[in-house]
Amino acid sequence: MRLSTSSLVVLLALSAGADRTTEAGEASITDPNAECTPYYYAPVSDHSSDFPAIWQHPEEILSNDSEGQAKFDAMSASIPNIPPKGTLNGDFSGMNYPASDPDCWWTDSKCITPKLAGLQPDVANVPEPRTLGYGFDDGPNCSHNAFYAYLESRNQKATMFYIGSNVMDWPLEAQRGVADGHQICVHTWSHRYMTAATNVGAFAELWYTMKAIKLVCGVTPTCWRPPYGDVDDRIRYIATQLGLQTVIWKYDSNDWSVGTNGVTRQTVQDNYDHLINLAQNGTFDTVGAIILTHELNNYTMQTAMDNYDKLTEVFDNILPIAVALNNTTPYVEKNVTSPTFAEYTSGTTTTSSDSNADAAPASDPESGGESESARSSGANGKTSTASKGAASNSGEGSGQRAQGSSGARTRAVGLGGAGAGVALLLGGLVAGGMRVLFGV
């Protein structure tokens, strides 16, 4: 039996007793290969039947989800009569959409002011001058420890748009986002083009991501970002009924699309430099900006670190979007509060939590309180400023997004039974690795 170097690193980490049961233990792992090794997490396993299949678009509400069904039924009759557009994978080639843009379809026109009465405009910039609303899509990434440690070392908080399937795949990584004081928002369950979904499918993409974040992190987001920016007034209405504010962007780093459509790493750097030049030229002297960036893989995270100091030189403030909007209660749970813009810019960057409000069940994403998993892990406590690891360039390609990205890994994380099978499997692998290394 021959094992690769990366496999041996993982096996040695396991044999050394790396803690894969708590947020702090997981955050202390610095090798990306070890970070991305599957682990068992009981709260996810225990609630696996409450969620759709990982990375599959949920076309309906689960039969055992009476709460979700009641929530959808309450809004169903009032959902705008706007037909779905294209396919879930973004093929709009058969569309004959009116030039008047009656649906405020962002993909077609970059429309951010809904045509439907009663809907709030999308958040596409921040009101504070010379300010950058800082955030990252597609997390939590299994290898993000170096990146999050870097942000922590700079006392920098951000808005993290988490994919529900990633939260279930990597729950301890999701908990670190909350523990480090970042704002957590919804980025759908399976990262599909939302305007292609049926009413119930769009609802389920948002609902089950909210439930996953509540289960794992103990908080319920009040914000979301549509994958690819694909949103219209029908989808906005469904999100609004779930208490979610739609957050878009105006400037795109295109870090997510390197290697496609002629986008290169130099293209991405040029996009960062363009934003920096605009800031230098006074473009944001009255209204700030939001840039689209990702924790999709080690390249996108390293690129963010490489450009961070450049951004701090031209923006007076870099902060989470909620803070830039002076939203001090970014979650349904009002016991969790974030600083005001004035507080953050004067040095108070931590998110605080009242530990007394912990009575809500994990299955209810809109009722407030802490979930069992958050209480046991400490993920809902006051933000720590101590670094949990050293930032480094950890290489390429550990990000998870869209179709077919979990497979057996999901089973190891949380969809097994009592976990004994996983423990035996890992124990066997460690024993095999020891035999290869030491001939035992």
Asked if 137 is an active-site residue, the reply is yes
Instruction: Give every CB contact of residue 373 below 8 A, 6+ residues apart in sequence.
Output: 41, 43, 171, 175, 215, 216, 217, 218, 362, 379
Interatomic CA distance for residues 303 and 298, integer angstroms: 8
> Counting beta carbons within 10 angstroms of the beta carbon of residue 42, is it exposed (0 to 12), middle (13 to 18) or buried (19 or more)?
middle
Interatomic CA distance for residues 265 and 426, integer angstroms: 37
List the one residue out of 337, 77, 377, 143 whose CA is nearest residue 222.
337
**Contact assessment for residue 321 and residue 289, using Cβ atoms and an 8 Å cutoff:** no
Beta-carbon-side half-sphere exposure of residue 48 (alpha carbons within 13 Å)? 18
Q: Which of 122, 137, 169, 233 is catalytic?
A: 137
Cα distances from 274 to residues 75, 262, 291, 310, 381, in angstroms, run 42, 18, 11, 12, 38
**Contact assessment for residue 216 and residue 44, using Cβ atoms and an 8 Å cutoff:** yes
Q: Where are any strands of DSSP class E within 351-424?
A: 352-353
Tell me the DSSP string of 177-238: HHHTT-EEEE--SS---GGGS-HHHHHHHHHHHHHHHHHHHS--BSEE--GGG---HHHHHH
**Contact assessment for residue 165 and residue 189, using Cβ atoms and an 8 Å cutoff:** yes
Q: Which of 47, 65, 294, 358 is catalytic?
A: 294
As a dihedral over the C-alpha atoms of residue 173, residue 189, residue 46, residue 50, rounded to 10 degrees, the angle is 160
Specify which residues 223 forms β-bridges with. Answer: 245
Asked if 294 is an active-site residue, the reply is yes
Tell me the DSSP string of 72-100: HHHHHTTS------S-TT---TT----TT
Instruction: Give every CB contact of residue 49 below 8 A, 6+ residues apart in sequence.
Output: 64
Pair of tokens at residue 427: 């124990």
Active-site residue list:
137, 294
